[in-house]
Amino acid sequence: MSNNWLWETAANLGRGIGSGEIDPVDLTQTYLEAIEVHEFSSRIYARTTVDRVLAEAEAASERAKAGLRRSPLDGVPISWKDLFDTSGTICEAGSDLLSGRVPTTDAEVVKNATAAGLVGLGKTHMSELAFSGLGVNPVKETSPCVNDHSAVAGGSSSGAATSVAFGLAAAGIGSDTGGSVRIPAAWNDLVGLKTTSGRLSLKGVVPLCASFDTVGPLCRSVEDANLMLAALEGGKPANLDGASLVGKRFLILDTIAMEEVRDAPKSGFDTACDALKNAGAHVENGAIEVVHEAMQLTGVLYSAEAYGTWSREIEADPEKMFPPILARFMAGKDVLASDYVKAWQRLAEIREIYAAKTAGFDAVIMPSSAILPPNVDRLLTEDGYFNTENLLALRNTRIGNLLGSASLTLPTSTPSAGIMFTAGQMSEHKLLRIGAAAEAALA
pTM tops 0.85: yes
Integer Cα distance of 222 and 392 in angstroms = 26
- Does residue 1 surpass a pLDDT of 80? no
Annotation marks residue 194 as catalytic: no
Integer Cα distance of 117 and 128 in angstroms = 30
Catalytic residue among 156, 158, 175, 407: 156
Strand partners, 60: none
What's the average model confidence in pLDDT over 27-39? 98
- Contact criterion met (CB below 8 Å) for 247 and 280: yes
**pLDDT averaged over every residue in the chain:** 98
Per-residue model confidence (pLDDT) at position 2: 76
Would you tell me how many other CB atoms lie within 10 Å of the CB of residue 435? 27
What's the average model confidence in pLDDT over 227-234? 98
- Contact criterion met (CB below 8 Å) for 13 and 30: no
What's the average model confidence in pLDDT over 283-302? 97
Task: List pLDDT tens digits, range 64-123.
Answer: 999 999 999 999 999 999 999 999 999 999 999 999 999 999 999 999 999 999 999 999
What's the average model confidence in pLDDT over 192-197? 98
What's the average model confidence in pLDDT over 264-279? 98
- Contact criterion met (CB below 8 Å) for 418 and 268: yes
Angle between helices 50-66 and 10-19 (to 10 degrees): 50
Annotation marks residue 42 as catalytic: no
The pLDDT-based confidence of 357 (bands split at 50, 70, 90) is: very high
Task: List pLDDT tens digits, range 168-181.
Answer: 999 999 999 999 99
What the chain holds in terms of domains, given with CATH numbers, is 3-233 (3.90.1300.10), 249-296+324-442 (3.90.1300.10)
Catalytic residue among 61, 71, 79, 81: 81
Task: List pLDDT tens digits, range 247-265.
Answer: 999 999 999 999 999 999 9
Annotation marks residue 430 as catalytic: no
Catalytic residue among 132, 143, 180, 407: 180
The pLDDT-based confidence of 3 (bands split at 50, 70, 90) is: confident
- Does residue 41 surpass a pLDDT of 80? yes
Task: List pLDDT tens digits, range 126-151.
Answer: 999 999 999 999 999 999 999 999 99
